[in-house]
Amino acid sequence: MQLILISGLSGSGKSVALKALEDGGFYCVDNLPATMLCEAASLYTDYGYDRIGISVDVRSSPSLGALPEEMARLRAKGVDVRLLFLESKDETLVKRFSETRRRHPLSNPGLTVQECIRIEREMLGLIQELGTRIDTSDLSANALRTAIRELVDADGSRLTLVLQSFGFKNGVPLDADFVFDVRCLPNPFYEAALRPLTGLDQPVIDFFKGEALVGEMVADIGQLIARWLPHFSRENRSYLTIAIGCTGGQHRSVYISEQLAAAFRGQQVLIRHRQLSHD
């Protein structure tokens, strides 16, 4: 059985993620207490379901403390259980609640939305360390659905290297394990013909290939990743996220992420370009 747990902050896209699993053939359950996970897995197995998606969050907060033990019990039974933890920046969450006019699950007359978010972060602090974090601050619903499908389809027995480009002007990704700043490199933005293009376009690729510093940066980052990747694999991690940042997340970070992906083609690799994924 493959069991995908969806957790995270209210307003971060958990409903979208669960729907993406459902569209991918998973039998999905929203807001199940953590203490019922093993019982539910056995029940669904009896009914012939082998791909299950379950949302576990603060709506069933009294049972959250049992989640680590329940996940361990499921793995001991041979269940491929993974946790995807969704989060977003505070300002993004506040904006989403304002736009949808939904109440925060922890709302009461004495708390603002910002205070509810702070309390929820504290309640979920230990949970986020149990799985893979996904920062949805700059992801459209379509981009989030794609990210969920890619993560779920990856071979859970092998470590997946996630390479993520981003723009510092939009903030550092919350889900990054390593962050590399490449703003010191030559910037195609200052070339009028290259400015509207991205690091995926051939003219920009040719520009970077002519810059020795860019090649050195790719090689240095690649060597560091190669040196430490085996150690992360031995820790039984499912994913390792490497964030590459430039000013706008359009040229340098995109190109370098693609080059690193090519260098690690023997590894299980996923690529995300945060500032190019709004459609």
Per residue in 132-186, pLDDT tens?
999 999 899 999 999 999 999 888 788 999 999 999 999 999 999 999 999 999 9
Number of compact structural domains in the chain:
2
Q: How much is the mean pLDDT over the chain?
A: 93
Alpha helices in the chain (DSSP H): 14-23, 37-46, 67-76, 90-100, 113-123, 141-153, 202-209, 212-234, 252-263
- Domain that residue 254 falls in: 161-276
- 39-95 confidence digits (pLDDT tens): 999 998 888 999 999 999 998 888 888 999 999 999 999 999 999 999 999 999 999
- Give the pLDDT confidence score for residue 255 in this predicted structure: 98
Please give the Cα distance from 36 to 45 (Å, whole number).
14
The tokens for 5 are: 């747990």
Q: How would DSSP label each residue in 79-110?
A: -EEEEEEEE--HHHHHHHHHHHTPPPTT--TT
What type of residue is 57?
A: D
Q: Among 153, 186, 208, which residue terminates a domain?
A: 153
Phi, psi of 135 (to 5 degrees): -85, 115
Q: How many CB atoms lie within 10 A of CB 52?
A: 23
Please give the Cα distance from 147 to 11 (Å, whole number).
17
What type of residue is 225?
A: I
25: left (phi over 0), alpha (psi -120 to 50) or beta: left
Are residues 169 and 239 located together in one domain of the fold?
yes
Are residues 21 and 127 located together in one domain of the fold?
yes
pLDDT of 100 > 60? The answer is yes
Are residues 120 and 217 located together in one domain of the fold?
no
Query: Counting beta carbons within 10 angstroms of the beta carbon of residue 274, is it exposed (0 to 12), middle (13 to 18) or buried (19 or more)?
Result: buried
pLDDT of 210 > 90? The answer is yes
Picking from 183, 92, 130, the residue whose alpha carbon sits closest to that of residue 5 is 130
Q: Residue written as tokens 């379950």?
A: 54
Binning the chain into helix, strand and coil, the percentages to the nearest 5 are 50, 20, 35
* pTM listed for this prediction: 0.87
Tell me the pLDDT band of 5, cut-offs 50, 70 and 90. Answer: very high
pLDDT of 278 > 60? The answer is no
Are residues 76 and 54 located together in one domain of the fold?
yes
pLDDT of 245 > 80? The answer is yes
Are residues 10 and 111 located together in one domain of the fold?
yes
Q: Among 153, 173, 188, which residue terminates a domain?
A: 153
Q: Residue written as tokens 């925060």?
A: 104
Are residues 69 and 86 located together in one domain of the fold?
yes
Q: Among 153, 169, 201, which residue terminates a domain?
A: 153
- Please say whether the beta carbons of 244 and 136 come within 8 A: no
Are residues 42 and 61 located together in one domain of the fold?
yes
Are residues 264 and 180 located together in one domain of the fold?
yes
The tokens for 277 are: 């994924």
pLDDT of 237 > 90? The answer is no
Are residues 30 and 97 located together in one domain of the fold?
yes
Are residues 118 and 210 located together in one domain of the fold?
no
Residue 82: CATH number of its domain: 3.40.50.300
Are residues 165 and 258 located together in one domain of the fold?
yes
The alpha-carbon radius of gyration of the chain (Å, integer) is: 20
The tokens for 39 are: 């019982």
Q: Residue written as tokens 């939009």?
A: 170
Tell me the pLDDT band of 122, cut-offs 50, 70 and 90. Answer: very high
Are residues 129 and 172 located together in one domain of the fold?
no
Percent of the chain with pLDDT over 70: 99
Rounded to a whole number of angstroms, the distance between the first and last alpha carbons of the chain is 33
Q: How many CB atoms lie within 10 A of CB 164?
A: 24
